[in-house]
Structure 1
Amino acid sequence: MSVLPILGGPPVSRVFHGERVLTGDELAAEARHAARLLPRGSRIALTGDDALARLCWFLGADLAGSAALLVEPSWADRERRAVLADARPDASVEVRRLAGSARPVEPVGDESTPFYLPTTSGSSGRPRVLIRSRGSWLRSFALLDLGLRADDRVLVPGPLTSSLFLFGALHALHAGAEVQLLDRWSAAEAARACRTATVVHLVPAMLSALLSAVERDPALRAACRLRTVVCAGSRVDPALAERLASLLPGCALVEYYGSAEQSLVAVRTGGALRPVVEVRIDDTGTLWARSDLGVDGHLVDGRVVPPEERDGWTTVGDRGVLHPDGTLEVLGRPASAIDSGAKIVGAEEVEAALRGVDGVLDVLVSATPHPRFGALVTALVEALPGEPPALAALRARAREALEPGKRPHRWLVTERLPRTASGKPARALVAEHLREGTLDAVEMS
């Protein structure tokens, strides 16, 4: 059986994708076939939306010592052109299913070899192309201990173009667990997949939608096998954690904080968030991390620009608090703050307060420009078609949980929040639509 470098050995577990199932041997064979079709030691752009084909080609590129860029189908033409101009791939491949190959392939490179060209999520602007070594993720795998067993099946319910979901899939295969892939996020499909999956990776908004789907169907709730939910991307508010514990007693919640640039920074397994690398908070409240898990830099016109750092310390701009007991609290980025009537409002705080209201699948708080106040705090609520939450209930929760200056002055409802590939609400896009008056949403009354 072939060694696949980013897995640290040969794959031993099955991968499920719709009706298709690959054993570890078959996965390695398809990766070998892909590796023979790719130039060695190069940069490869992989297009297409078949999750299993993407995984096989990605593993094949790594086997060939090539760094892979997974092109996101939802990128606008402008974004796609900009990303490819920065990545300057040596080849672009439309992924397809392959016949396996029995011929051996000698792995190229070592832990310092670039294997992945992740992009920033685009939630706050144009995606940026990063460059990452194998070793950075292999070391990250070791720091996220989920206690995975060979009989676990890990559900990866979002596109592998998101580093969050790609990390979840490779982490599971590295640990010897089975993987179940969905091409794209669907709360209904994810709920059905939880009849066989024991672990799932997602962002808090997806967890909320998944729980809603399970709540509506007693049969799915009874059949749900989840024992661990792994959340990243943003903080899980207490109301959502309590909802999970009530609906699925005994299901553990594991949160981790990190970024595409820094990889893993802190993990919460019950109790509080605890750093797994060196962390400090500067005089401005900005959170910095230092480790050997981060990217090697980012690409501009094909040239590697080293990461911005101070004696090895890097930041993505998040604010935080490091408590005397060593626990970490992440407060989010100033970019999500709203200046309304000389009051600075943190969007994440308002969102956390509103997510527990009945009928709310998710909520994004942004700003509507206003000539007198500068901006109106605006809540964009995601709800099921024809089942919006009561505006009175939303206002009551805001009065209960938020001081007056932080309460939304404008309430909108939509059936689908604009999202990034990772499933996080697309803040920059919503803010742009609010500025231009083009948001696809209905005023609540």
Structure 2
Amino acid sequence: MLPALISRVTCDDVASDGAELRRRAHGAARALAGVRRVAVDEPDPVHRLCWLLGAELAGAAALVVDPDWSRRDEVLADAAPEVVVSGAPEPGDPVARRGDERTWFYLPTTSGSSGAPKVLVRSRRSWSESFRALDVPLGPDDAVLVPGPLSSSLFLFGAVHALHGGASLRLLRRWSARAAAAACRDATVVHVVPAMLAALLSVWEREPEPRPRLRLVVCGGAAVGAELEARLHRVLPECELLEYYGAAELSLVAVRRGEPRLRPVVEVDVRDESGASLPPEVPGALWARSELVCDGHLRGGVLVPAAPGWRGVGDRAVRHEDGTVTVLGRAGSVIGTGGHLVAAEEVEAVLRAVGGVLDVVVAGTPHRRLGALVTAVLEVDPGSPPTRARLRDATRRLEPAKRPRRWLVLPELPRTPAGKPARAEVARLLRDGALDAEVPA
């Protein structure tokens, strides 16, 4: 994974020389000689990257620890690292790369947005093949901004992909919409989740100058939605969007660039509850088969192998006649209300496009007669919060059953360490009646 040349890496406003980073990666590899699993417990993003690249050289699988993990002890117990490293690795002379393409390279965790995270096992091959499947050519003239934590596989993937493409890499110690917007003035590519894109657009709408030089926004983690994409093109007409769907267990599954729907880059199938394939345009469970998937997960340091062949993670989707797919979201995020099934992600995609909405979770408030009320829990821009009338107007394109009946607001949504909204925590707050602040009319 360590490229022959590393361009400059900048964290906030501090630049690091690529040659020095390579020497530190080799030094990390020397320090990890003979180690099979390592936990990187270092907050500095550049040092994290050096340890990860050094572990890969040494043939060790790395777990990148997040200081905000609420279940840190459980995660470490499952990963069972032989060593825990921190600080800046000492520079060292070049070492030979150990292992082959089947060697374990990385121990990502599932997001934990709906429950306890799992420690997964990824091989070198699963990542290198994912680079090819994403198909984003980069060069020395590109500057790639990765504004999220490297403990998230989504952002770590973007960082390592940038290094392999020969681009310069820009990192942030902590996500900040204003800091990321400023960094985009000199970046050509940025990796974000939809909530980050919405927050960036809010900054650029208020402060249109100086204009970012972005040519490409790479967006994963959730559906972008037509409204948010249209908003991007209004603000940055010459910037292209690449949306992708994947999961920590499956890696990359489908990509959308210049067309209205996601196109699979691996084998996919949509099935009913019995496991039978469904015809086009009928929603069901999404399954994938590829060489990009994880090898399994660790429990108490022991590998629980993934079943061979087709795999699913509980996401629902529709396969279309032209081979494209529409991902409807996790089965657990489907809300049953008055006999209708509402996909939370579909409603969230509409609301995330509204100016002043930084992020949103749509969930069900328990209701004796309807089963649940569709409820929007929003994090809004305090400088320009949207009104309830404006939000309701945005949802008029949805079927009546999908339109939220309650509109609540939080100063900040609860989040997973990867930065995604913690759905399970929002659902708990609604069940307990702990949310009562309403969006102003």
Q: TM-score range by the shorter chain?
A: over 0.9
Which of these residues, 247, 250, 265, is aligned with residue 235 of structure 2? 247
Contact 2:388–2:439 at 8 Å: present in 1 too?
no
Secondary structure of 2:357's counterpart equals: coil
What letter corresponds to residue 189 of structure 1 in structure 2? A
- Which residue in 2 is equivalent to 1:280? 269
Deviates more, 1:52-61 or 1:340-349: 340-349
How many residue pairs are counted as aligned between the two chains?
A: 430
Deviations 1:33-77 (A, max 9, x none): 22222252411111132111111111111111111111111111x
Which of these residues, 253, 256, 274, is aligned with residue 244 of structure 2? 256
Following superposition, the deviation at residue 435 of structure 1 comes to 1.6
Which of these residues, 183, 188, 192, is aligned with residue 198 of structure 1? 188
Contact 1:412–1:444 at 8 Å: present in 2 too?
no
Deviations 1:241-298 (A, max 9, x none): 1111111111010111111111111111110311111111123411111111111100
Secondary structure of 1:173's counterpart equals: helix
Deviates more, 1:29-38 or 1:290-299: 29-38
Deviations 1:149-172 (A, max 9, x none): 211010000000000000000111
User: In 2, distance between residues paired with 1:439 and 1:297?
Assistant: 38
User: Residues 176-195 of structure 1 correspond to what in structure 2 (within 5 A)?
Assistant: 176-195=166-185
User: In 1, distance between residues paired with 2:113 and 2:440?
Assistant: 25
Secondary structure of 1:107's counterpart equals: coil
Contact 2:380–2:386 at 8 Å: present in 1 too?
yes
User: In 1, distance between residues paired with 2:421 and 2:341?
Assistant: 21
- Which residue in 1 is equivalent to 2:304? 305
User: In 2, distance between residues paired with 1:104 and 1:153?
Assistant: 27
Which of these residues, 114, 127, 137, is aligned with residue 117 of structure 2? 127
| Residue 236 (1) aligns with residue 224 (2) | yes
Following superposition, the deviation at residue 140 of structure 1 comes to 0.8
Deviations 1:339-359 (A, max 9, x none): 223322211122123233332
Following superposition, the deviation at residue 441 of structure 1 comes to 4.8
User: In 2, distance between residues paired with 1:338 and 1:355?
Assistant: 18
- Which residue in 2 is equivalent to 1:156? 146
- Which residue in 2 is equivalent to 1:339? 336
Could you tell me the TM-score, scaled by structure 2's length?
0.93
User: In 2, distance between residues paired with 1:269 and 1:83?
Assistant: 35
Following superposition, the deviation at residue 444 of structure 1 comes to 4.0
User: In 1, distance between residues paired with 2:168 and 2:193?
Assistant: 20
What letter corresponds to residue 249 of structure 2 in structure 1? E
User: In 1, distance between residues paired with 2:155 and 2:163?
Assistant: 13
Which of these residues, 59, 70, 92, is aligned with residue 84 of structure 2? 92
- Which residue in 2 is equivalent to 1:3? none
User: Residues 105-120 of structure 1 correspond to what in structure 2 (within 5 A)?
Assistant: 105-120=95-110
User: In 1, distance between residues paired with 2:355 and 2:300?
Assistant: 48
Task: Provide structure 2 residue ranges, at least 5 long, that are not aligned to the other structure.
Answer: 274-283
Could you tell me the TM-score, scaled by structure 1's length?
0.93
Which of these residues, 126, 131, 137, is aligned with residue 147 of structure 1? 137
RMSD across aligned positions (CA): 1.7
User: In 2, distance between residues paired with 1:353 and 1:18?
Assistant: 32
User: In 2, distance between residues paired with 1:401 and 1:413?
Assistant: 22
Contact 1:318–1:331 at 8 Å: present in 2 too?
yes
| Residue 349 (1) aligns with residue 360 (2) | no
Contact 1:430–1:439 at 8 Å: present in 2 too?
no
Deviations 1:328-373 (A, max 9, x none): 2211111101122332221112212323333222221012223333
User: Residues 203-222 of structure 1 correspond to what in structure 2 (within 5 A)?
Assistant: 203-220=193-210, 222=211
User: In 2, distance between residues paired with 1:173 and 1:357?
Assistant: 34
Following superposition, the deviation at residue 406 of structure 1 comes to 2.1
Secondary structure of 1:361's counterpart equals: strand
Which of these residues, 39, 55, 61, is aligned with residue 61 of structure 1? 55
